[in-house]
Chains A and B, each alone.
Chain A
Amino acid sequence: MLIFEAEKVSQSITTVESLGKRRTALRAAGVSLVALLGTTTAAMAQQVNDLPGGPAVNQLNFAPAVTQIAHEQAWLHWFMMILCAVIFVLVFGVMFYSILKHRKSVGHKAQTLSEPIWVELGWTIVPLLIVIGMALPATKVLVAQKDTTNSDLTIKATGMQWKWGYDYINGEGEGIGFLSTLDNTHREMSASGNPPPMDNYLLKVDNPLVVPVDRKVRIITTANDVIHAWMVPAFGVKQDAIPGFVRDTWFRAEKTGDFYGQCAELCGKEHAYMPIHVKVVSAEEYTAWVAEQKKAMAAALDDPSKVWNLAELVQRGESVYAANCLACHGAQGKGGGAIKALDGSALVVDTDKSKMINVLLNGQNNGAMPAWKQLSDTELAAVMTYTKNHWSNQTQRMVQPAEVLAARQ
């Protein structure tokens, strides 16, 4: 990677540059130019490698295709590129020939050209035929791409600020549902401004979407708050996830492996931090995974009528907070900008729990604080208890799952 190479060059120049003290923009700009000019051919000590199923270092073209549609898109793109390149060379060959030969400095006198109608007609009709030639194969691919019928498996992907929710709603694994969130250490590395070189930076999630290989998977997209887009380049799939509406797309992965994508529609502050990770596994592995998930779900099923003690709720709440709230409200509960602080918040420490329950269930400020009703009663009770008993909020007050359940009705 040039930038890390640039780093090395600058270190060899200034010898005692510490890694932490890197990069004032100007110096790095100069150094990277040096690196560009001088070391592109040198063997590069790359600290970041290609991520299989994700981006490659300095990737120049589409991701290697693993679905029929992605293969066809790549073919179409090459087809278009070659046609455009040929036209480009022809047209600008003429222009640069003219620039060289028909200049006043070589004594060329201007000659008025006649304007026969066939010339004008010719360069209208020929391009028309070319674009028709381009549109025909594109039509075939487009029709195939939009055909989401006869799927083996249907999964609903729900975009939320800022994570993905997956619900297996048809086919093997029906009933499984979970959230998929960026690994929080990656978010912290990003905020630190100095992330160490790594291959899956900003692409690592807690729970990847698991699908079987060689099955037609239909993805239904929707969203809870604003528009998001579910994209996996290797599958040739990108579909907006629109609140209040459902849309669909599909893929049939040709091989097993991990494939990555990111949210592709501006969805607010943390837009860059809601990656997509699809794990394609063999049919047997998939069946085993489904069985495991079902078992875990049964075990994790919380009885909302269970009465918890404070320590249990706070402990449970801590993980709920980390997965759902921390991205905005921060580890210190201080919020920031439009994001309200929880530490010391009147609402949080209020003896009347119903207000806070209401905010969590329904959201606030037009969704700036989203609704969290997709979390279970126990999770909501736990996270509220956690915030009521963490930082400076030592209220000793609890919210029990039954209270949340009651507020839902």
Chain B
Amino acid sequence: MSAVLDHHDAHDHDHHAPTGWRRWVYATNHKDIGTLYLLFSFTMLMVGGVLALGIRAELFQPGLQLVNPGLFNQLTTMHGLIMVFGAIMPAFVGFANWMVPLQIGASDMAFARMNNFSFWLMIPAALMLVSSFFFPGGAPAAGWTMYAPLTLQMGPSMDAAIFALHILGASSIMGSINIIVTILNMRAPGMTLMKMPMFCWTWLITAYLLIAVMPVLAGAITMTLTDRHFGTNFFNPAGGGDPVMYQHIFWFFGHPEVYIMILPAFGIVSQVIPAFSRKKLFGYASMVYATGSIAILSFVVWAHHMFTTGMPVTGQLFFMYSTMLIAVPTGVKIFNWIATMWRGSMTFETPMLWAVGFIFVFTLGGFTGLILAVAPIDVQMQDTYYVVAHFHYVLVAGSLFAMFSGIYYWLPKWTGVMYSETRGKIHFWVSMISFNVTFFPMHFLGLAGMPRRYADYPMQFADFNAIASVGSFFFGIIQVYFFVAIIIPAMRGKGEKAAQKPWEGAEGLEWEVPSPAPFHTFETPPKLDVTATKVIG
């Protein structure tokens, strides 16, 4: 234990830790910053969720009842931007902040002050993004993909959104550098790369993806900015620019971005499934290679978002084949998870429910992805609700469900108290059912040809839209329940005290420190056993 806690010299530096608001504003401790990230992203999830409910309320039945089509486009655009850049990405950085140092036996993140900066940068960016609704002309309404030349018609809020994305991008890059350096430089002796927990592996790969593609996004939106104000014509056809070039650049960022949002989710699920199956992860090495393969492939598939732009047939063939190829490493992951469960001794506490639910529903999203990859079919489905259904199956049932799994799994470690299993299960089942009620009918709408981003629609589409809207309100309400019934009690320390290792089958260094994890952990490198999952002396 002494290697874990270093009680003997704790007083040498502990008393510098500020208290009150200074603790958070000046935070350099990875656990505090992780908490900040998670709370921030949950706030953004709520903001984006309210916008989504606005969309679904308008689409509840044909005709415009609540918003005009201009505001509708602002809602869809801002929902997308806020969920992607404000909710999912920062939430995973929060997980990384909390768990990476604990899992590799490091005392903190490598660059503690930069860590503080990368969090606090997000606040002005988020304020700027959300406040764009109050700009003259309203929020950006060109879709979260911000296709040119529609962006040229947007009001000043477009510039605010561009600056906000620049800042969020800078924050992400700093976060990624921090994670890479921490993982590569600060592992405890004996924690070789191939003994590292899967969550760290997936984040290491994700961080490289982020560093590779965030500058590409920054380039695309900077060119949009200069097209808007400084007379350049990168994407403006009126001046000889190419709007399709914007799409190529955007999706060269955008597709790896999709994997940035799912790889850490794979990592979380790869921790939870073995813990509750009471077995080791099946095919650890192949999991690492599969994650790497997905990351590399993600750079050569981007134009499958653009099958209807009129690419030459050879281009379409290439992007169709490369996209279908991604099914192979993704399949390997799913087979490995199921093999981990096979002949295990499973229990189904809330984290495991979310993880199993994730595999089931995410795989549905994977199959629709495979179908969308087939270019001739995609011509029917491109820009319809089928695409909306698909990416919500992978981003909500994928990323978000995995995050819930991770939150329930590590919450006892973070707060020192157990959450209520009953409440956790209510949260899971209501979410699972209302998610499917919301998004499953959208497959049918898409097959029938209802285009996405439509404020109003032919009456034949009315029933499925009504069902989806009803589901969405249940899905929204249950997330508020989650915050009120799970998070608030846990943060206030209410509940049964958590053991150091509350999960019988859990393995890893995070379970070698007490619950709640003390402010400073692993201040001197721990001595690890041969599997690098236990501290010995």
Write the nearest CB–CB distance from B304 to chain A, whole angstroms.
Answer: 12
Contact A268 B150 (CB under 8 A): yes
Q: Which of A100-158 contact B (CB under 8 A)?
A: 102-105, 108-113, 115, 119-120, 123-124, 127-128, 131, 134-135, 138-139, 141-143, 145-146
Write the nearest CB–CB distance from A33 to chain B, whole angstroms.
Answer: 6
Contact B459 A95 (CB under 8 A): no
Q: Which of B448-493 contact A (CB under 8 A)?
A: 448-451, 453-464, 466-467, 469-470, 473
Which residue of chain B lies nearest to A56 when distances are taken between CB atoms in the complex? B460
Known: A58-B460, A81-B371, A142-B375. A233 touches B60 (CB 8 A): no
Bound-state CA distance A140–B252 (Å) is: 27
For B282, what are the chain A residues with a Cβ–Cβ distance below 8 Å? 113, 115
Contact B138 A337 (CB under 8 A): yes
Say if the beta carbon of A346 comes within 8 Å of chain B: no
Contact A103 B348 (CB under 8 A): yes
Contact A95 B348 (CB under 8 A): no
Say if the beta carbon of B537 comes within 8 Å of chain A: no
Bound-state CA distance A95–B237 (Å) is: 53
Bound-state CA distance A238–B149 (Å) is: 20
For A88, what are the chain B residues with a Cβ–Cβ distance below 8 Å? 363-364, 367
For A84, what are the chain B residues with a Cβ–Cβ distance below 8 Å? 367, 370-371
Say if the beta carbon of B64 comes within 8 Å of chain A: yes
Q: Which of B437-451 contact A (CB under 8 A)?
A: 444, 447-451
Say if the beta carbon of A272 comes within 8 Å of chain B: yes
Write the nearest CB–CB distance from A131 to chain B, whole angstroms.
Answer: 4
For A127, what are the chain B residues with a Cβ–Cβ distance below 8 Å? 327-328, 331-332
Contact of A271 among B73, B277, B316 (CB under 8 A): B73
Say if the beta carbon of B238 comes within 8 Å of chain A: yes
Q: Which stretch from B101-109, B378-386, B515-523 is at the chain A interface?
A: B378-386
For A401, what are the chain B residues with a Cβ–Cβ distance below 8 Å? none
Bound-state CA distance A50–B449 (Å) is: 14
Contact B60 A76 (CB under 8 A): no
Say if the beta carbon of B155 comes within 8 Å of chain A: yes
Say if the beta carbon of B20 comes within 8 Å of chain A: no
Bound-state CA distance A231–B523 (Å) is: 62
Contact A99 B380 (CB under 8 A): no
Contact A102 B313 (CB under 8 A): no
Contact A143 B344 (CB under 8 A): no
Which residue of chain A lies nearest to B136 when distances are taken between CB atoms in the complex? A338
Say if the beta carbon of B57 comes within 8 Å of chain A: yes
Contact with B along A270-305 (1 / 0, CB 8 A): 111100000000000000000000000000000000
Bound-state CA distance A227–B236 (Å) is: 11
Say if the beta carbon of B420 comes within 8 Å of chain A: no
Which residue of chain A lies nearest to B339 when distances are taken between CB atoms in the complex? A113
Say if the beta carbon of B142 comes within 8 Å of chain A: yes
Which residue of chain A lies nearest to B233 when distances are taken between CB atoms in the complex? A244
For B376, what are the chain A residues with a Cβ–Cβ distance below 8 Å? 69, 72-73, 76, 138, 141-142, 145, 236
Bound-state CA distance A103–B352 (Å) is: 12
For B241, what are the chain A residues with a Cβ–Cβ distance below 8 Å? 244
Which residue of chain A lies nearest to B335 when distances are taken between CB atoms in the complex? A123
For A48, what are the chain B residues with a Cβ–Cβ distance below 8 Å? 459-460, 462
Say if the beta carbon of A400 comes within 8 Å of chain B: no
Contact A1 B463 (CB under 8 A): yes
Contact B457 A202 (CB under 8 A): yes
Say if the beta carbon of B131 comes within 8 Å of chain A: no
Bound-state CA distance A238–B380 (Å) is: 7
Contact A95 B341 (CB under 8 A): yes
Known: A88-B363, A113-B343, A271-B454. A124 touches B380 (CB 8 A): no
For B466, what are the chain A residues with a Cβ–Cβ distance below 8 Å? 2-3, 6, 28, 32
Contact with A along B330-342 (1 / 0, CB 8 A): 0110110011011
Q: Which of B233-252 contact A (CB under 8 A)?
A: 237-238, 240-244
Contact A365 B343 (CB under 8 A): no
For B360, what are the chain A residues with a Cβ–Cβ distance below 8 Å? 92, 95
Contact B370 A60 (CB under 8 A): no
Say if the beta carbon of B324 comes within 8 Å of chain A: yes
Bound-state CA distance A113–B320 (Å) is: 36
Contact of A124 among B61, B332, B464 (CB under 8 A): B332
Contact B142 A1 (CB under 8 A): no
Q: Which stretch from A12-20, A256-264, A386-394 is at the chain B interface?
A: A256-264
Write the nearest CB–CB distance from B280 to chain A, whole angstroms.
Answer: 7
Residue total for A at the interface (Cβ-Cβ under 8 A)? 121
For B143, what are the chain A residues with a Cβ–Cβ distance below 8 Å? 266
Contact A91 B448 (CB under 8 A): no
Bound-state CA distance A240–B313 (Å) is: 15
Contact A202 B278 (CB under 8 A): no
Say if the beta carbon of B283 comes within 8 Å of chain A: yes
Write the nearest CB–CB distance from A409 to chain B, whole angstroms.
Answer: 20
Say if the beta carbon of B18 comes within 8 Å of chain A: no
Write the nearest CB–CB distance from A242 to chain B, whole angstroms.
Answer: 6
Contact B150 A227 (CB under 8 A): yes
Write the nearest CB–CB distance from B53 to chain A, whole angstroms.
Answer: 10
Contact B63 A189 (CB under 8 A): yes
Say if the beta carbon of B55 comes within 8 Å of chain A: no
Contact with A along B182-221 (1 / 0, CB 8 A): 0000000000000000000000000000000000000000
Contact A240 B280 (CB under 8 A): no
Write the nearest CB–CB distance from B35 to chain A, whole angstroms.
Answer: 32
Known: A77-B371, A131-B325, A193-B63. A236 touches B379 (CB 8 A): yes
Contact A242 B374 (CB under 8 A): no
For B341, what are the chain A residues with a Cβ–Cβ distance below 8 Å? 95, 98-99, 102
For A267, what are the chain B residues with a Cβ–Cβ distance below 8 Å? 150
For A233, what are the chain B residues with a Cβ–Cβ distance below 8 Å? 380, 448-449
Say if the beta carbon of B46 comes within 8 Å of chain A: no
Contact B380 A62 (CB under 8 A): yes
Say if the beta carbon of A229 comes within 8 Å of chain B: yes
Which residue of chain B lies nearest to A369 when distances are taken between CB atoms in the complex? B153
Bound-state CA distance A221–B142 (Å) is: 21
Bound-state CA distance A262–B65 (Å) is: 21
Contact B153 A366 (CB under 8 A): yes
Say if the beta carbon of B147 comes within 8 Å of chain A: yes
Contact B377 A109 (CB under 8 A): no
For A29, what are the chain B residues with a Cβ–Cβ distance below 8 Å? 60, 469-470, 473
Contact B374 A138 (CB under 8 A): yes
Contact A95 B450 (CB under 8 A): no
Which residue of chain A lies nearest to B293 when distances are taken between CB atoms in the complex? A124
Write the nearest CB–CB distance from B124 to chain A, whole angstroms.
Answer: 26
Bound-state CA distance A40–B420 (Å) is: 37
Known: A48-B459, A337-B70. A103 touches B345 (CB 8 A): yes
Contact with A along B61-85 (1 / 0, CB 8 A): 1111100111001000000000000
For B505, what are the chain A residues with a Cβ–Cβ distance below 8 Å? 110
Q: Can you list 17 A-B pairs with a CB-CB distance of less than 8 A?
A: A23-B60, A29-B470, A61-B448, A80-B371, A80-B377, A81-B371, A92-B363, A103-B345, A108-B345, A128-B325, A143-B313, A146-B316, A201-B459, A229-B308, A269-B141, A271-B454, A338-B155
Write the residues of chain A forming the contact surface with B, with a CB cutoff of 8 angstroms: 1-4, 6, 23, 25, 28-29, 32-33, 36, 48, 50-51, 54-63, 69-70, 72-73, 76-77, 80-81, 84, 87-88, 91-92, 94-95, 98-99, 102-105, 108-113, 115, 119-120, 123-124, 127-128, 131, 134-135, 138-139, 141-143, 145-146, 189-195, 197-203, 221, 225-227, 229, 231, 233, 236-240, 242-245, 247-249, 261-273, 337-338, 365-368
What 20 new A-B contacts, CB under 8 Å, besides A142-B320, A199-B459, A266-B453?
A2-B462, A29-B470, A32-B466, A59-B444, A63-B448, A73-B377, A91-B334, A103-B347, A104-B345, A108-B345, A110-B277, A111-B343, A113-B279, A115-B283, A119-B339, A124-B331, A200-B458, A225-B149, A245-B242, A262-B451
Write the residues of chain B forming the contact surface with A, with a CB cutoff of 8 angstroms: 57, 60-65, 68-70, 73, 137-138, 141-143, 147, 149-150, 152-153, 155, 228, 237-238, 240-244, 277-280, 282-283, 286, 308-310, 312-313, 316-317, 320-321, 324-325, 327-328, 331-332, 334-335, 338-339, 341-348, 356, 359-360, 363-364, 367, 370-371, 374-377, 379-380, 382-384, 444, 447-451, 453-464, 466-467, 469-470, 473, 505
